[in-house]
Amino acid sequence: MEYDALIPVIRQLAIEAGTKIMQIYNADDFHVKVKSDDSPVTEADEAADALISAGLRAAFPDMMLVTEEQAASHGLTGETFLIVDPLDGTKEFINRRGDFTVNIALVENGVPTRGVVYAPARERMFFTLADGSSVEETGPFDPAKMGAVTPIRVAECDNDALMVVASKSHRDQATDDYINKYKVKDSKSAGSSLKFCLVATGEADLYPRVGRTMEWDTAAGHAVLLGAGGKVVRFDDHTPLTYGKEGYANPFFIAYAPGVDLKEA
């Protein structure tokens, strides 16, 4: 994969998908269906998926593509693949809370090496450059031309005063029990893959996830965090979280700035 060719394409597709999502988000009403796993799906998920999938297949016809909204892709296996969540945080979208994202990532040998996370309602976009470093673009989000970008880097954290971010829709007692093992200055809630990006920018030090996620939920944010100097490890044994697993399901995990003194599960 030529990274110089990849980055403009995934950035452009994320912005175009975000525009389509916002058109539906700002409408008076939109249709919500329930999938076989009881998770919700909206016309925005489906429209964004169609746009991104068509764009990626046109640009990279030989590349394996896994996307949340196409069940047939969930049986594919490969070392290198593109993975997409066209609308991460559907519950946030349905409840009009704004914390939803478009996620597109490249996985190579089990590692998400490049990715883009776009939060159109929050007007924030994070992505990896061709060299693997991560940036935040500050607008105006023209799909054809990159705007001003700022390099992002994880914080030099203080283990006596950590900033923690946790899920807005899935926070539970097990998460709180783990967070309570740390000396926490403050905690915040955020939806979707924005939590990875808040660690990547230094706005948070630690994001533990004690709950079900899929690889398309996490790959793009994981890539952005890696490019900002962060890490993502399994909750149980602190080994790196890998991709291309059977069924694309993740174990519990911890995303963090390397200065954090990780506690055992």
Closest CA to 10 of 129, 154, 155: 129
Q: How far apart are CA 41 and CA 51, in angstroms?
A: 16
User: Does the structure show a pLDDT above 80 at 214?
Assistant: yes
Alpha-carbon dihedral 96, 99, 101, 105, rounded to 10 degrees: -160
> What is the spatial distance between Cα 157 and Cα 207, in angstroms, rounded to a whole number?
13
CB-based contact 35:152 (threshold 8 Å): no
pLDDT, tens only, 170-189? 678 899 999 999 999 999 98
Q: Alpha-carbon distance 217 to 89, whole Å?
A: 9
Q: What is the pLDDT of residue 204?
A: 98
Summary count for the chain: helices (H), strands (E): 6, 16
State yes or no: pLDDT of 2 exceeds 80.
yes
pLDDT at 66 over 90: yes
Nearest Cα neighbor of 107 from 126, 131, 79 is 79
pTM exceeding the 0.85 threshold for the entire prediction: yes
d(CA 211, CA 180): 17
Model pLDDT for residues 122-170, shown as the tens digit of each residue: 999 999 999 999 999 998 999 999 999 999 999 999 999 999 999 866 6
104 token code pair: 């597109």
Q: What pLDDT is recorded for position 169? A: 66
Residues 6+ apart with CB under 8 A from 52: 13, 14, 17, 67, 84, 86, 102, 104
- Which residues, 6+ apart, have CB-to-CB distance to 8 below 8 Å? 146
Band (pLDDT 50/70/90 cuts) for residue 31 is confident
Residue 81 contacts residue 107 (beta carbons within 8 Å): yes
pLDDT value at residue 139 = 84
At residue 78, the pLDDT reads: 95
Amino acid identity, residue 24?
Answer: I
Helices 3-25 and 43-59: crossing angle in degrees, nearest 10, is: 160
